[in-house]
Amino acid sequence: MRSELGLASLEEIWQRFFTATVKTREVRKYLMDAVLPRPRDLLYLVKTALQFAINRGHGRIEEGDLLSAEVQYSHFALNSLMAENAGQVGKLEKLLVQFSLSPEIVNELDVLSYIERAGVREKPSEVLTFLCEVAFLGMEVEQNRFEFLYNEEDAEKLNAMATRSASQNPLGLRRYRINRAYHRYLEVKPGLGPPPQQQSIPLPV
């Protein structure tokens, strides 16, 4: 493909087809952080951005194309979460939209209030656990470090770390970070802490 395009390296392909940065962030870093760590999600975002670029007459995918595509991707990710977990939690859609306009970082009392407001009948502690298991929420495992449960084998370790972290804050409350993938659709307000420690999809360089 590179030879057909007259491009000698993968770096030239990135330069030819993508803007260099998105909101001052290097484009590959932006792409890895914007999606859940699944190839299909990255592909959805890039294909949607490409369609925006074509419709707008752009010669490459520009920053605005990616930002527009991120809104659509965020909705896609939320719909996928609901479809894949239908029946495990009643009124799941109503619960998830309670996080609209929420701060990126919430504590367990915030989450329990959203569960109550949505009228979910399941045990609140089990619902909160579910939100972590599907990586909608990441657990604070030490001050301002949040981990998402992408590997079930890490569940006990992360829970133990989160319990210890909560015991060290003045209120004794667990804190959670809403996954970046859902921010744009839910209009989540970005936090001031460092970015979550997430797995990433390796992109060619």
Q: What is the pLDDT of residues 107-129, one digit of tens each?
A: 999 999 999 999 999 999 999 99
DSSP 5: T
pLDDT on residue 88: 84
Structural domains in the chain, CATH included, are 10-84 (1.10.8), 92-186 (no CATH)
The single-letter code of the amino acid at 86 is: A
**DSSP bridge partners of 177:** 105, 138
**Given the structure tokens 């007459």, which residue do they identify?**
57
Q: Is residue 129 within a helix (H) or strand (E), and if so which, with residue range?
A: helix 124-133
> CA 179, CA 18: separation in Å to the nearest integer?
25
Over residues 181-202, the pLDDT tens digits come to 999 999 999 875 444 444 445 5
179 burial via Cβ count (<10 Å: 0-12, 13-18, 19+): buried
3-state secondary structure of 191: coil
